């Protein structure tokens, strides 16, 4: 009975969500120089799990460079996990992983907020949070938890002038944050073929517009959403991954690694290489650089090209 009720509520949101109107129009956030570099190349850290996840986060910090040069005392840091659905990791961000990253950032003296808006068929987001146990974790760590879809009057319209999207309605909280941290899962996606760092940004988009984005050219549009801003740090949890299906269920494999960078494209490319190493029937092209998400992102210079990044392990 509860499952049927959840489906009815999901359909209600799918049909009834509207894009906020008369919100302030703003320009994209100015692009930042990626701070995680080596010999003028973007760094992508790939770490096989050694001990607990917090220890792995510390290793990532050593490989990328000291986080104190990016996160400073008093910074308002918004962490964007993947709570698209209430399904367990790798469909959603693992709570142990989330806690380790939050504790790592809190140690720099920054102020942390967790922000997310779940997928249309699983909203309201607060319901997904409750099923996953997120409110208890936020309370334990003393950080704020925000469901973007509850803030109906707290949006900005970002004028990106892309080839597929002219503007994107995004949360003011994210637009005004000092730092943005993305915590994507590693997985295939039934509609977008792959869901990683760039796809994570779709969870910022106002629900009504998000529905329309799915009606055609999804991959190109989700890439263009990232013209609004780029994150300061991406840490992708690849301890487990979907190599079929997605975003909420699929064939699970266990790569046992974490990928981290400040660059959207190279993070997703390295993640797709991992997924392609498994024999599975999915739509990721043999050359991940040919994925429409990546092609569009390169057109708009959203991240590093082939010869502009280096992998460290």
Q: Tens digit of pLDDT for each residue in 215-263?
A: 899 999 999 999 999 999 999 999 999 999 999 999 999 999 999 999 9
**Owner of token pair 């690849």:** 238
What's the CATH fold of domain 37-312?
Rossmann fold (3.40.50)
- Which residues contact residue 62 at a Cβ distance below 8 angstroms, ignoring those fewer than 6 apart? none
Q: Residue 124: is the preceding peptide bond cis (ω within 30°)?
A: yes
Reported as type and span, the H/E element at residue 41 is strand 41-48
Each residue of 9-55: pLDDT tens digit?
556 556 667 778 889 999 999 988 888 998 989 999 999 987 789 99
Decide: residue 49, CB within 10 A, 0-12 exposed, 13-18 middle, 19+ buried.
middle
**Owner of token pair 């002038």:** 161
**Do the beta carbons of residue 187 and residue 85 sit within 8 Å?**
no
Strands (E), 142-214: 144-147, 155-159, 167-171, 179-182, 185-189, 193-195
Q: CA dist 249 to 90, 189, 200, 202, 235, Å?
A: 8, 9, 17, 19, 21
Say what the pTM is: 0.95
| Mean pLDDT of the region 164-169 | 97
Average pLDDT, the chain: 93
Tokens of 138: 């936020």
β-bridge mates for residue 25, sequence order: 157
pLDDT of residue 48: 93
């Amino acid at each position: 009975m509860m499952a049927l009720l959840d489906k009815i509520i999901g359909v209600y949101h799918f049909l009834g969500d509207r894009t906020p109107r008369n919100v302030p129009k703003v320009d994209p956030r100015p692009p930042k120089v990626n701070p995680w570099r080596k010999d003028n190349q973007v760094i992508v850290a790939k770490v096989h799990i050694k001990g607990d996840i917090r220890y792995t986060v510390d290793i990532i910090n050593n490989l990328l460079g000291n986080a104190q040069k990016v996160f400073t005392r008093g910074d308002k840091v918004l962490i964007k996990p993947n709570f698209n659905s209430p399904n367990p990791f790798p469909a959603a961000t693992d709570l142990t992983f989330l806690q380790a990253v939050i504790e790592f950032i809190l140690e720099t003296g920054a102020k942390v907020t967790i922000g997310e808006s779940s997928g249309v068929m699983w909203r309201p987001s607060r319901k997904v949070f409750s099923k996953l146990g997120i409110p208890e974790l936020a309370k334990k760590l003393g950080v704020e938890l925000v469901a973007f879809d509850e803030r109906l009057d707290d949006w900005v319209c970002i004028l990106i002038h892309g080839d597929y999207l002219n503007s994107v309605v995004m949360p003011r909280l994210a637009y005004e944050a000092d730092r943005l941290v993305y915590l994507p899962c590693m997985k295939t996606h039934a509609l977008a073929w792959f869901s990683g760092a760039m796809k994570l940004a779709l969870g910022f988009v106002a629900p009504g517009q998000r529905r329309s984005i799915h009606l055609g050219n999804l991959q190109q549009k989700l890439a263009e959403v990232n013209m609004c801003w780029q994150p300061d740090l991406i840490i992708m949890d690849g301890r487990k991954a979907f190599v079929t299906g997605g975003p909420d269920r699929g064939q699970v494999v266990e790569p046992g690694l974490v990928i981290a960078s400040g660059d959207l494209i190279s993070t997703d490319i390295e993640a797709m290489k991992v997924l392609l190493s498994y024999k599975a029937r999915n739509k990721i092209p043999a050359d991940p650089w040919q994925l429409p998400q990546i092609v569009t992102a390169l057109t708009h210079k959203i991240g590093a090209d082939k010869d502009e990044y280096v992998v460290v392990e």
